[in-house]
Amino acid sequence: MSDLSTGLPLTGERTVPGLDVENYWFRRHEAVYLALAPECAGAVVLDAGVGEGYGAALLARAARRVVGLELDPAVAAHVSGRYPAVSTVRADLQAFPVGDGAVDTVVNLQVIEHLWDQPGFLAECARVLRPGGRLLCATPNRLTFSPGAGPDDRPLNPFHTRELTAAELAALVADAGLAVASLVGLHHGPGLRDVDARHGGSVIDAQIALALSGEPWPDQLAADVAGVTAGDFVLRADDLDASLDLLVTAVRPR
């Protein structure tokens, strides 16, 4: 199946815009990009794992320059064609083609959980940051994304290698030589909590169950998912263990 708005294959590995059945996940990611955009104002930004490219393009509205790294040649070509404000470079995320201290900000959203060598990836992020530069890293919270899974268990999502808790994420970042400045979690706001209540307590579980069964979506679920906006999510520092996604901001010491 392909996303009609982008032409990229809808594999489940990356989130794409413009597709009603993907709208919840797209808006969930968009909410974080929107929160980060002011942090990137006037900066040279490296989006490590640019994916479909919509997030890097959003950041490019505020940043001085955005470079997106992507290994898949088809995806890299798509980003270059669809988002001309993003400079796209094919690269392995374990070895950035970027000089030491060359960028102000490294952004990676929903990336680290896909990688086998997470410490090596974070070391690369630290290497390319200038002194005082910032890493902005978001990832699913294992406690809510794969309930009951331990740190060494394979995640429920087949595209993930290792998911993290807030404490584990902070420790990995610190081990890379970066100082954690903030750690917040993404939660459903009041409107989405009402949607959860309409669908057995979790609109996420309702979507996943139907995806696994192949059954058609009820009209109410389809309408609720299509109506989700980035404003339906909130980022806050309390109750991290109950958050959906984690967002850490870390600084390379001067």
Q: By the 8 A CB rule, do 89 and 53 touch?
A: no
Alpha helices in 37-140 (DSSP H): 54-60, 73-82, 118-128
- Is 5 inside any structural domain? no
Q: Is residue 47 part of a domain?
A: yes
79 found inside a domain: yes
239 touches 185 (CB < 8 A): yes
246 within some domain? yes
In a domain, 13, yes or no: no
CA pair distance 123, 144, nearest whole angstrom: 27
Domain extent at residue 31: 20-251
- The tens-digit pLDDT sequence of the chain (254 residues) is 334 345 565 555 567 788 888 999 999 999 999 999 999 999 999 999 999 999 999 999 999 999 999 998 999 999 999 999 999 999 999 999 999 999 999 999 999 999 999 999 999 999 999 999 999 999 999 999 988 888 888 888 888 999 999 999 999 999 999 999 999 999 999 999 999 999 999 999 999 899 889 899 999 999 999 999 999 999 999 999 999 999 999 999 99
Contact yes or no for 145/244 (Cβ under 8 A): yes
Find the distance separating the first CA and the last CA of the chain, reported in whole Å.
Answer: 48
In a domain, 3, yes or no: no
**Residue 168 maps to a domain:** yes
Task: Count up the domains in the chain and report the number.
Answer: 1
Give domain status of residue 25, yes or no: yes
Q: Strand ranges (DSSP E) for 92-161?
A: 103-109, 129-140
Q: CATH number of the domain that 165 lies in?
A: 3.40.50.150
Q: How many residues are recorded in the chain?
A: 254
CA distance 87 to 130: 19
The three-state secondary structure class of 220 is helix
